[in-house]
Amino acid sequence: MSSAARHDVYQAIADPTRRQMLKQLAEKDASIKEIAESFSVSRTAIVKHLHVLSEAKLVSDRKEGRAKIYSLQPAQLMEVKEWVSFFEQYWDNKLANLKNLVEDKE
């Protein structure tokens, strides 16, 4: 898996395991081993997920002795936040339209 920058933020957060991994890293930096222990999938699978998150720049890593420690890098999530924000006007409009409809009936 993973050769070019094939994974953007949206694809990275599409997987529930990866979303959970981000939650864990939000609390505390963790090594691959520590992360793998929190999940029921294999360590190899976790490493692959970490690669995807890394490509999307949602995590960074550093070496500490023989362990590789991952940290949350939440900045890229702003892209998602902004994309979703665009649609807020529409769900607000729906509510507004509904409100108008109700008021017209009165």
Partner DNA sequence: TTCATATAACACCTTTTGGTTACACAAATT
Partner DNA sequence: AATTTGTGTAACCAAAAGGTGTTATATGAA
Instruction: Using CB under 8 A, list all residues that contact a second copy.
Output: 10-11, 13-16, 19, 22-23, 26, 72, 74-75, 77-78, 80-81, 83-88, 90-91, 94
Angle at 39 between CA 61 and CA 43, to 5 degrees: 55
| Two structure tokens written together for 80 | 């998602």
Instruction: Considering the complex, state which of residue 88 and residue 106 has its C-beta at the smaller distance from a second copy.
Output: 88
Q: Which of 52, 56, 59, 72 binds DNA (CB under 7 A)?
A: 52
Q: Which of 28, 65, 81, 88 binds DNA (CB under 7 A)?
A: 65
| Other beta carbons within 10 Å of 52 | 21
Closest CA relative to residue 73, chosen from 20, 6, 30, 26: 26
Query: Residue 32, interface with DNA (CB under 7 A)?
Result: yes
| Other beta carbons within 10 Å of 50 | 21
43-55 and 16-27 helices cross at what angle (nearest 10)?
80
CB of 103 to a second copy, least distance (A): 21
Query: Residue 45, interface with DNA (CB under 7 A)?
Result: yes
Match 């108008």 to its residue by tokens. 100
- Residues in the site for DNA, rule: CB under 7 A? 1-2, 6-7, 11, 14-15, 17, 31-34, 36, 40-45, 47-49, 52, 65-69
